[in-house]
Amino acid sequence: MTDIALRLLRLPHGEGLPLPAYATAHAAGMDIVSAIDQVIMPGDRAAVPTGFAIAIPEGYEVQARPRSGLALKHGVTCLNLPGTIDADYRGEIRIILANLGRDPFVITRGDRIAQLVPAAVQRATCVLVTELDETARGTGGFGSTGVR
């Protein structure tokens, strides 16, 4: 496995916060924290600032993903899954959180709110055709292959 370098710029309101980091040796995602205190009411969503911006190498993206503990314990998840951060974006990383739970969700500055997963990008070229090849599945979708 080859590591890539993500260049991070700490923003003024991110001073003193931990940088994105892997919690364990085999973790796929780097935990990231909130740069502010905030409350997300049930049914609401918010773009939570992290206090840093990044430069991603060409040919890669970084995906923002939810933390399973927040989803299970509080009903809080990320929207726009996975949230793609493109290699040419240089603004602050903000995480779109939604509270699907029953109670207000309180975020304290420094709380872990999501994880970042770098991924290689495969570019595609679209080719217009007059017909597509046949498959056993055909045009069936949305559960057409069965329940189990």
52 beta partners: 10
- Indicate the domain borders of the chain: 7-120
What three-state secondary structure class fits 14? helix
Rounded to whole angstroms, how far apart are CA atoms 69 and 126? 39
Average pLDDT of the segment spanning 74-94: 95
Q: Which two tokens stand for residue 11?
A: 């923003």
Give pTM, 2 decimals: 0.88
Bond prior to 82 in cis (omega within 30° of 0): yes
Given a cut of 80, whether residue 16 has pLDDT beyond it is yes
Around Cβ 91, how many Cβ atoms within 10 Å?
Answer: 9
* pLDDT of 137: 84
* pLDDT of 138: 85
pLDDT of 24-49, one tens digit each? Answer: 999 999 999 999 999 999 999 999 99
Given a cut of 90, whether residue 66 has pLDDT beyond it is yes
- Work out the pLDDT band at 1, boundaries 50, 70, 90: low
- What is the third-level CATH fold of 7-120? Deoxyuridine 5'-Triphosphate Nucleotidohydrolase; Chain A (2.70.40)
Given a cut of 70, whether residue 109 has pLDDT beyond it is yes
